[in-house]
Structure 1
């Protein structure tokens, strides 16, 4: 129990508070030190974030050949031929003197209306439709299983047993896979699958894919068997097309009467055969076309439809196909073919827009260095570098105000928000003044930028000043760069490869590396050093993993220990004052008793 001035009349509570305020002064200093460490850590981390952004930007911009060797293509007649260029484009020109034909896609369409009476409603079940010829339906058993892959692997357990593998259709995310007895060779292997009988969980069947199926993939397995009087009504049909290598691409469709026309069309459009199908309600016909232009099966059909559903229900006749054609044109005196109207020659991508005869038109396609894009890339690199230099120069050159320590809670209570803000601006200033890690890191950057690149040809560019990039004349800028745009443009126009190698050369030693590659490596090292000091990167997110964090932990322990001592000191003060109150109270009681005895007879 605490007695507060009952005997003495003194404000004991205020006296203890004042005494403890003096006792707590070392704790206030420790908390101020802790706040300074937090501010310092935040400033280090801000610089580290900027360094990491700069490091990433170097990789995505100036180190990419596509940016530093950017080419632009020009066409003398863009209405006939459009052109774009990649970084690998040569400096030559192409003269296209004739375009005999453009590439077209193979098409087919129903020969007759496919319905009898009311036209097809694509949203209703096929069983409820009136097809012109309905003799395509079969009876039997159709089992469909859908499995969603929980993790990436090649073996998938099924819920039920499958029948004859020849009567199994497997689709992964809508793409048909070839069911085989053994895996083959070549590109087709990636879309092959085997049915392993009884090897799955509880003796169920298992699918084994030639290549791992990704997590989340939707596998649809359809197993069908024709049985007289079976419970299911279905039909099967097949489409065969050809890929760019002339190889057959087949897909089997198991169509049940409870599906809609929209379901069937969606399945056909998502198949690996590369076709596009739509039903036209006005003509009551189906149109089919290849998604790719060109001739992939010389002398034969590009699309072959087999099965009663296609021939009877959709009235598709293979003889009615309008075959795909190649683009035929003459370039630099050579007549050549392409399966697409868009193609690439020597890094120049051309798109044929129309046909024209020899002698009537002639289109010249040229490729040259896109000087503006290369300059923009280099200027962006220099601007980011200068921003980083500005940021660090500001921090390392800030004035340090020794008299402006972080405010305590009591001090904040006595100040306005504006006064607190202005005080803390000065209290945060100069925490990184003349920081050795930062100054050392940016001195390394300057050496990286100004030192010649070793290992390049003697007659090529090897110093940054040779392309018009130098340091500013003001020494207070701390090594910022400035660009002579005329000199830089001239260097890019004369030898873009040399300019690229000046920044991006990748030699065996640091001296042999290009300027940007050196700076990126040095930035990586500085990021690591700063993260060891202030954390926040490279997996150093816990206080014990970096220097300032460990110091803050130690200081926190000291504060906790000091707080316990302060509780003991405060208890001691109260005990002393309580004892004094009790003694004075007893003295007062004795005095009153003596006074009563002395004057009781009067």
Structure 2
């Protein structure tokens, strides 16, 4: 705290403050200039955000075939057949008759109750329930996964004796192999595509496994330490068929501490494609295929069971509930069938929901979804007009040059509402007639107006041909309007031609679709504005864009000027302090002289 003016009686603090206020006028102007640069950066970046959104939405609307060539399908009886169409589907009509049966999945139930008069809980350990009294085996169950290394031999990392070799489960990338044991007899067993030979703690395959193949092995050993006790376990197998009629097998090992629910979970994760549940009312288990249709081309059972599934859960081919069946129907006079009730023909996905009676015929008509295409184009036009409105508003805003950014002293003298109104005018018109914006949006307008030339096989080469033109009001500065009737007519006439008008991928801008050209120009506009105001295209640091460099420069100037102001203020204080000291000495000399001239007494 400085105390001055004791000798002179002058308010030195106020005098220096007033002097410094005048000295600070240049730095206040620089801060106002800095504020204007920051406001312009914000305005540019706001426009860039809108451009970026528009850039993304162009791709997601008029450049997507699924939107611009969308199809719809009408059904004469949606209770029996429904359908949808892909964008590439042709406009066609289908007749479905003689739907005699729907596809159904194979399903098997226990041939007898598994409860045997006892209560069964699907969530409790099977070993604790009398209903699951079975020929449990004992041993320590190990599960390991080994990565193959271009070899036909995989060695198990265990020193304990492996027991119950016939219960081993070996899978390579999910494929189950039967295990045969080489016990030193002559001749030794030979592995084949479905068999692996176990010998001396190793598995020998019929050929080298591919590098990195997953070899999953479940095996049993005697207990080798108290922390690894024996378990009671049982085994079982399930077989189904793939879509080519090839058998798919899986083998399971279940321990007595597992529940029936856990059994169903393992089944559901298996490659055989089945799921199951336990019904408390009947005491039976049901297992069904996850896919509908007939897969066993030989006409036998769709699902076969062995071991635990057959002996304990009483599942076998005699327990089939109606069996698998394909959907059978006549399509445009051709008798055919499918494994599923939903299938695709010529881009039209049909779903059978019921069977026909008598000579009933269901007709499906696939045609262009004109409403969806119109809505897609409307969205593009609306977003373009909104963007144009916003930017034109910025470029035509009135500039109030008498309203400068407020200094700190001016801000302190105003209320918040007064500050808000002042800054609204101070910010107005910063981008008025901006050359960068005008150039980019002029290019965008040219992209929209110029025809699409080249190999476009369509009568539609410019927007006006499909009913999209600029408004007659010149004050709209290029906004678009739609003649919806003409647009609908064009879509119904040639939907693909309308799509190509927007999205054609030509080698030159003249051959490119309108939306593709506009999107390219928007990308260039984003880059140009980023070079000016940053915030996009990796332009983050001030030195990477023009306004950022200007901002850094003016901040440096302000910092330098602030240091000079500090020096000026120090000089003022030194001068006033020296004056005060001189006045004080003069006063002391006067007092001394007065005392000598007029001695007391």
TM range (shorter): 0.7 to 0.9
The yes-or-no answer on 1:335 pairing with 2:335 is: yes
TM-score normalised by structure 1 residue count: 0.87
Q: Distance in 2 between matches of 1:551 and 1:71?
A: 54
Query: How far does residue 303 in structure 1 lie from its aligned partner after superposition?
Result: 1.9
Query: How far does residue 207 in structure 1 lie from its aligned partner after superposition?
Result: 11
Aligned residue among 134, 157, 164 for 1:161: 157
Query: How far does residue 161 in structure 1 lie from its aligned partner after superposition?
Result: 3.0
Contact 1:543 1:549 in 2 (8 A): yes
Query: How far does residue 144 in structure 1 lie from its aligned partner after superposition?
Result: 4.4
Q: Distance in 2 between matches of 1:347 and 1:379?
A: 26
Distance 1:273 1:469, change over 3 A: same
CA deviation profile, 1:526-557 (whole Å, cap 9, x unmatched): 11111111111112222222111121112111
Query: How far does residue 48 in structure 1 lie from its aligned partner after superposition?
Result: 0.7
Number of residue pairs matched by the alignment: 557
Query: How far does residue 110 in structure 1 lie from its aligned partner after superposition?
Result: 1.2
CA deviation profile, 1:393-438 (whole Å, cap 9, x unmatched): 0011111111111111211110011110110001111111111111
Contact 1:116 1:132 in 2 (8 A): no
Aligned 1:142-541 pairs, distance under 5 A: 142-144=141-143, 161=157, 167=168, 177-178=174-175, 209-210=212-213, 223-225=218-220, 227=222, 231-298=230-297, 299-306=299-306, 308-322=307-321, 323-359=323-359, 361-457=360-456, 460-541=459-540
Aligned residue for 1:194? none
Aligned 1:537-576 pairs, distance under 5 A: 537-576=536-575
- Answer with 1 or 2: which has the greater Rg: 2
Farther off after superposition, 510-519 or 535-544 = 535-544
Distance 1:242 1:16, change over 3 A: farther
Distance 1:71 1:595, change over 3 A: same
Aligned residue for 1:17? 17
Aligned residue for 2:51? 51
Q: Distance in 1 between matches of 2:430 and 2:24?
A: 25
Distance 1:42 1:246, change over 3 A: farther
Distance 1:475 1:53, change over 3 A: same
Farther off after superposition, 563-572 or 326-335 = 563-572
C-alpha root-mean-square deviation of aligned residues, in Å? 2.9
Gaps of 5+ in 1: 148-153, 155-159, 182-196, 199-205, 212-219
Query: How far does residue 20 in structure 1 lie from its aligned partner after superposition?
Result: 1.2
Contact 1:456 1:462 in 2 (8 A): no
Distance 1:500 1:126, change over 3 A: same
2:301 alignment partner, SS class: coil
1:139 alignment partner, SS class: strand
Q: Distance in 1 between matches of 2:58 and 2:170?
A: 49
Aligned residue for 2:188? none
Query: How far does residue 209 in structure 1 lie from its aligned partner after superposition?
Result: 4.1
Contact 1:3 1:581 in 2 (8 A): no
Contact 1:162 1:168 in 2 (8 A): no
Aligned residue for 1:118? 118
Gaps of 5+ in 2: 151-155, 179-199, 202-208
CA deviation profile, 1:54-101 (whole Å, cap 9, x unmatched): 111111111111111111101111111112222122212111121011
Contact 2:106 2:302 in 1 (8 A): yes
